[in-house]
Amino acid sequence: MNFEKNILITGGAGFIGSHVVRRFVKHYANYRVVNLDKLTYAGNLENLRDIEDSENYRFIKGDICDAGFIQKLFEEYQFDGVIHLAAESHVDRSISNPMAFVETNVIGTVTLLNAAKSIWKEMSGKRFYHVSTDEVYGSLGDEGLFTESTSYDPKSPYSASKAASDHFVRAYQNTYGMPIVLSNCSNNYGSYHFPEKLIPLTINNIKNNEAIPVYGKGENIRDWLFVEDHARAIDVIFHEGKEGETYNIGGFNEWKNIDLVHLLCDIMDSKLGREAGTSRKLISYIKDRAGHDMRYAIDASKLKDELGWEPSLQFEEGLEKTVDWYLANQSWLEDVTSGDYQNYYKEHYQS
Ligand code: NAD
Ligand code: TYD
């Protein structure tokens, strides 16, 4: 079959990547969608079972840091576009093992840029889209929002590695004329979210009647966005975003961690038929994360004004949908929390 375009999506077996792959495979039958993923602890092909037999989809297992392999892949497929999501993504793991973040997030990104540069003799019609995080902007006080012109001030090894990769992507545009676009998004939630992150971890622990670990006083604030809204924003930016531009993506939806955990407890009590207040008793305040960023909040008005994107779901509705998904997919949850996860959990929370 002849395809109009070959699109490479990296990290497509992860949380956000799987939603992006699914969206592109379903919406763009004229694109061949190649999902390149190393299948680390965070990657899982179960996340894409429903589309794996699609004619326009191909999965390739591989490491974005392996320059020889990446070069051959680009030569073979002659990609027209790259949507780069592969990354080490968990702040807590970046605190215990920063080097893995330097390797994948920085070296892996530059390896992809080099391969694109080498095959794109003619840059017109090509696009390298780097998917990044609002954490590159650092931490906010009580007031203000991150805009596209906020100075970079990353504070964790994770955000420092993402900031470095953002800088490389922009440097390749400035130096080599690479046709790039970037987005920096706030915290996502939804189905297929690995339960090391706050929302799925809380759902899993409530289900299992285990303590809910809340760092510090639970007063840190995050701005939550439903993952399918992020995937839709990525689609819009990939197709309509202006070359060289950066777009902030966010939910206009700030929540203090403890208020969010309370809401999840109440939703879970009602879904599980437990007496109101039962799950809140599981909350356990534990030692704060080192260098814990206080508040993130995104001003996504550029994306709204220029490309017409807006979040589609109210948070309560999205959270309820998410809880329903986890309760309906307990075997997925059991599968990803067996094996290595147990060691991670013990080391991180019980040592
Ligand atoms: P994730 O950890 O769920 O998935 C990452 C995926 O990348 C996994 O499938 C993993 O196997 C793959 N991967 C890791 N190292 C690789 C390597 N060396 N080569 C090839 N594949 C590799 O992450 P996520 O939450 O889906 O985040 C995806 C992207 O979005 C990341 O770049 C992240 O920085 C960014 N982001 C995430 C959030 C969020 O809330 N999760 C918010 C904003 C931006
Ligand atoms: P997380 O989901 O790890 O995302 P990020 O650190 O990238 O924002 O954490 C979200 C918030 O929840 C953050 O303020 C840290 C806090 N948190 C806890 O209180 N307990 C936990 O067990 C985890 C994983 C996070």
Give the tens place of pLDDT for each residue, 172-220. 999 999 999 999 999 999 999 999 999 999 999 999 999 999 999 999 9
Residue 212's CATH number: 3.90.25.10
Does the Cβ of 86 fall within 6 Å of ligand 1? yes
In this structure, are 113 and 230 located in the same domain?
yes
**CA-proximal residue: ligand 2, atom 9 (nearest):** 198
Which ligand gives the minimal distance to the CA of 187? 1
Strands 5-10 and 187-189: unpaired
Active site residue 134: yes
DSSP state of 3: -
In this structure, are 168 and 276 located in the same domain?
no
Q: What is the pTM of this model?
A: 0.99
What confidence tens digit (pLDDT) does each residue in 287-331 have?
Answer: 999 999 999 999 999 999 999 999 999 999 999 999 999 999 999
Q: How many domains does the chain have?
A: 2
What are the E-state strand segments in 124-217? 127-133, 180-185, 187-189, 212-215
In this structure, are 259 and 243 located in the same domain?
no
How confident is residue 123, by pLDDT bands cut at 50, 70 and 90?
Answer: confident
CA of 276 to the centre of ligand 1 (A): 36
In this structure, are 78 and 213 located in the same domain?
no
In this structure, are 41 and 161 located in the same domain?
yes
Does the Cβ of 220 fall within 6 Å of ligand 2? yes
The pLDDT score that the predictor gives to residue 350 is 85
DSSP state of 185: E
Farthest CA pair distance, the chain? 64
CA of 29 to the centre of ligand 2 (A): 37
Does residue 147 sit in helix, strand or coil? coil
pLDDT at residue 36 is higher than 80? yes
Instruction: Decide if 203 is inside a domain.
Output: yes
pLDDT at residue 159 is higher than 80? yes
Q: Per the residue annotation, which of 88, 135, 228, 254 is the catalytic one? A: 135
Task: Please say whether the beta carbons of 62 and 11 come within 8 A.
Answer: no
Instruction: Decide if 307 is inside a domain.
Output: no
H or E element in which residue 36 lies = strand 31-37
In this structure, are 180 and 103 located in the same domain?
yes
Instruction: Decide if 347 is inside a domain.
Output: no
Does the Cβ of 191 fall within 6 Å of ligand 1? no
Instruction: Decide if 286 is inside a domain.
Output: yes
Instruction: Decide if 275 is inside a domain.
Output: yes
DSSP state of 48: G
In this structure, are 129 and 217 located in the same domain?
no
Nearest to 279 by CA among 293, 264, 260, 296: 264
Does the Cβ of 104 fall within 6 Å of ligand 1? yes
Closest atom, ligand 1, to C-alpha of 40: 11
**CA-proximal residue: ligand 2, atom 5 (nearest):** 91
CB atoms within 10 A of CB 97: 12
Q: Which domain covers residue 160, as residue numbers?
A: 5-189+224-249
In this structure, are 71 and 139 located in the same domain?
yes
In this structure, are 61 and 78 located in the same domain?
yes
Active site residue 135: yes
Name residue 14's amino acid.
G
How confident is residue 99, by pLDDT bands cut at 50, 70 and 90?
Answer: very high
Does the Cβ of 139 fall within 6 Å of ligand 2? no
pLDDT at residue 351 is higher than 80? no
Task: Please say whether the beta carbons of 101 and 56 come within 8 A.
Answer: no
Pocket test for ligand 2, best of 135, 198, 255 (most atoms within 8 A of CB): 198
Strands 254-256 and 221-226: antiparallel
Residue 126's CATH number: 3.40.50.720
Give CA–CA dist 28/303, Å, rounded: 22
In this structure, are 155 and 215 located in the same domain?
no
The pLDDT score that the predictor gives to residue 339 is 84
Active site residue 341: no
Dig out the tokens for 82 from the structure.
């790259």
Give CA–CA dist 157/98, Å, rounded: 6
In this structure, are 149 and 110 located in the same domain?
yes
Instruction: Decide if 297 is inside a domain.
Output: no
Instruction: Decide if 12 is inside a domain.
Output: yes
Q: Where are the alpha helices (DSSP H) in 177-256?
A: 198-207, 227-240
Instruction: Decide if 131 is inside a domain.
Output: yes
In this structure, are 131 and 202 located in the same domain?
no
Beta-carbon contacts of 335 under 8 Å, excluding residues fewer than 6 positions away, are 44, 46
Q: Which residues pair with 226 in a beta bridge?
A: 189
> Rounded mean pLDDT of the chain?
97
Give CA–CA dist 253/179, Å, rounded: 32
* Average of per-residue pLDDT across 4-16: 98
